[in-house]
A and B are shown apart, each in its own frame.
Chain A
Amino acid sequence: MTAELETAEGRETLRKVAIDPVSRIEGHGRVTLLIDDDDQVCEARLHIVEFRGFEVFIQGRPYWEVPVMVQRLCGICPVSHHLAASKALDRVVGAVPPSPAAIQLRRLMHYGQILQSHALHFFHLSSPDMLFGFEAELGKRNIVGVAEAYPDVARQGVLLRKFGQEVIRATAGKRIHGTGAVPGGMNRHLSLADRDALRADADQMVAWSQAAVELVKRLHRADPGLYDVFGVFRSGLASLVRADGAMDLYDGVLRFRDGDGGIILDQVPDQNYRQVLQEDVKSWSYMKFPYLMERGPDLGWYKVGPLARVQNCDFIPSPLAEIERREFIDHGKGDVIHAPLAYHWARMIEMLHAAEVIRDLLDDPACTAGELMAQGTRGKEGVGIIEAPRGTLIHHYQVGDDDLVTMCNLIVSTTHNNQAMNTAVREVAKRYLSGRKLTEGLLNHIEVAIRAFDPCLSCATHALGQMPLVVELAAANGEVIDRVVRD
């Protein structure tokens, strides 16, 4: 492990290299490396440098406004926030459980979100690194380059994402920032016209998702020395699972495994997350560091997201994805797969699962008819946990008798992965960068490791638009020795 790279000794004497911002991720992050005179990396940190403060300005707002307001955290997976907030506030209006129609419609919306986000991340953001190589020509390493060299792959990626967005539009009212879910249920059914239009494409989406899994497997097989080793480190795993251990991305109980795959905690009800999780704060990042309380901050951190979920569940409840899960598990030869690049493989298995779930839900009559709202005894507090595309997302609210929110706590997926991403950065810095003259391609290795986690830094904190990447290599006296600019 590389924990010693979190804070170097004699920091003031070391050269500083910054990757700012990290590109092809959602939001704004920065990596700093401190390097000694022998070019050895002595410190590596992923900083989240912006601050948003949704938790504070939600306070004092009426609870029914919250699912619509909090989804503005993000333009990539607003549905996850929209649904996590709605689930939490179901408890405030006493809709426990919501109506069958509301649950199925929300599921449909959520799996549409999983599909579109996974497609976006794999095809648009990460496939350029994998198809062309980490140090390939910079001008080619993007989705346009993929479209030129692999037109079918790019086309399928774009259309898979479009299909997911259409599922969201049909259930939430808009592709981005819809208003379908409300505390207590849903405000719309799936129209028959939308259902039929989606049905017409659903089988194609399953087939393309299968092809995407095959593509990732082919990449792994072609270069196991890279894919199984790059940035690897051991850590715990965390996710929701259904009560029977199945993968469930919409609802379930919390399960935590250690780095060897042993179950530490299981069947933790979502409402009890605070009894098992705590968040650590570090002076150099606006993003907190959550950990499992019983293991402490040094040992209790874990990974979330596809790599954790595919290995944390006992099975995937859709046949094609389950076949792929088994092959994935077999690849580990009895051990947990921790390689960051295996995130992509697991992510595509989940995309296949999402495509299968959507196809089946479109045939569910609950999506087109039935009571949308439920209510019951009014509550003062609610926790909503959902498996967002990037991992476990926790929304927690307290609401006063006057209907205004008095407390809001959000732990977003990327926050759970904070320590894991930092560790990946350190592993890669030590293995690939130490002792070498830094180039843009070498620095991209670090970004590749971060990208594997599909971080959403704007969810975790704040983003102020996209900025060009400027990497400066400065000597200890501050003189800039090398400078690499990426537009």
Chain B
Amino acid sequence: MSKQFLFDGRPVAFEDGQTILQAARVAGHYIPHLCWHPDFPPHGSCKLCIVKVAGRHVSSCAMPAKEGMEVESNTPEINGERRALLQMLFVEGNHFCPSCEKSGNCQLQALAYDLEMTGERFAHFFPERPVDASHPDVLLDFNRCIFCELCVRASRDVDGKNVFALTERGINKHLVVNAESGRLADTDLAADDLAANICPVGVILKKRVGFAKPIGERTYDVKPIHLVAMEDGK
């Protein structure tokens, strides 16, 4: 008989080496996340996947499942924390959904809807983050970066190009391009690289696409993210 833990009171089977998030997914339980991706090791930066285990808040993407542990996830307390984290992410960057072309395909926006974030709570930082439009096919709008590093990891570990990096620390942390000029045009990024197609928000965008697909017919317009994520395995 396989090992089990309790997820919101229901038994979930797991194998040694699986994290809480991985095992829960296999069992059909969705845990919100932004920086986690099934093809990459845990990153543990967005903290959206926090769950409560034995009275402690832990990142379920990084915490190995243990026999008999009791995990609380879809509870008012934990969802309230997730909502607060989202509210922090929204004020840390410049997220203007009404004119953002990623609207409807953006995981940050979709999670805000899913977790019923109905308004702002913290003061906006309004950071200065210029757009990089130097590349012929790809636009970088740094305003929307949530520092998940999926592009960094994809470019380094899959594309083998090492195009992106995070620089500085704390409140000054930001995404940069690994080129002496700092311009995307001076890298070898191609539009079909994984790094150019993995951004969960609206930072890395194919140029001249914009609103070709109507708002209202996009991924998360049609289905909430907790259903989409379980269906396509992301």
B188 CB, min distance to chain A CBs, angstroms:
18
CA distance A188 to B100 in the complex (A): 19
CB-based contact B134/A402 at 8 Å: yes
**In the complex, A183 Cα to B207 Cα: how many Å?**
13
A68 to B209, CA, bound (A): 13
From 372 to 411 in chain A, residues with beta carbon under 8 angstroms from any chain B beta carbon are 373, 400, 402-404
Q: How many angstroms between the C-alpha atoms of A373 and B100 in the bound complex?
A: 21
Identify which of B130, B134, B210, B214 contacts A65 (C-beta below 8 A).
B210
Determine if B211 and A182 form an interchain contact, defined as CB atoms under 8 angstroms apart: yes
Name 9 A/B residue pairs within 8 A (Cβ), A-sorted.
Answer: A60-B130, A60-B131, A62-B133, A62-B207, A64-B210, A68-B98, A72-B99, A173-B215, A373-B212
Residues of A close to B100: CB separation below 8 A: 65
Residues of B within 8 A of A (CB): 98-101, 130-131, 133-134, 139, 207-216
B99 to A187, Cβ gap below 8 A? no
Supposing A177-B98, A403-B139 touch, asked if A64 and B214 sit within 8 A by C-beta, the answer is: no
CB-CB < 8 A to A373: which residues of B? Answer: 212
Complex interface bits, A172-195 against B, C-beta within 8 A gives 1, otherwise 0: 011001111011000110000000
What residues of chain B lie closer than 8 Å to A188, measured between beta carbons?
A: 214
Given A61-B131, A64-B208, A402-B133, A187–B101 Cβ distance below 8 Å?
no
**Cα distance A178–B104 in the bound complex, in angstroms:** 13
Q: Which of B101, B134, B209, B215 has the most CB of A within 10 A?
A: B215
Write the nearest CB–CB distance from B213 to chain A, whole angstroms.
7
Which residues of B lie under 8 Å from residue A174 when comparing CB positions?
Answer: 215-216
A residues lining the B interface (CB < 8 Å): 60-62, 64-65, 67-69, 72, 93, 173-174, 177-180, 182-183, 187-188, 373, 400, 402-404
Report if A403-B211 is in contact (Cβ < 8 Å); known contacts: A62-B139, A177-B98.
no
Report B-chain residues with C-beta under 8 Å of the C-beta of A403.
133, 139, 207-208
Question: Which residues of the partner chain B approach A183 to less than 8 Å between Cβ atoms?
Answer: 210
Q: Report Cα–Cα, A178/B213, bound state, in Å.
A: 12
CB distance from B11 to the nearest CB of A (A): 45
Contact across chains for A187 and B214 when beta carbons are under 8 A apart = yes
**CA of A410 to CA of B131, assembled, Å:** 23
Nearest chain B residue, comparing its CB with the CB of A93:
B208
Taken together as a complex, chains A and B put the C-alpha atoms of A62 and B139 apart, in Å, by 9
Closest to A186 in B: B214
Residues in A with CB closer than 8 Å to B207 are 62, 403
Question: Could you tell me the distance in whole angstroms from the C-beta of A89 to the nearest C-beta in chain B?
Answer: 10
| Contact across chains for B208 and A187 when beta carbons are under 8 A apart | no
Q: A60-B130, A64-B210, A173-B215 are in contact. List 19 more A-B contacts (CB 8 A).
A: A60-B131, A62-B131, A62-B133, A64-B211, A67-B211, A72-B99, A93-B208, A173-B214, A174-B216, A182-B210, A183-B210, A187-B213, A187-B214, A188-B214, A400-B133, A402-B133, A402-B134, A403-B133, A404-B133
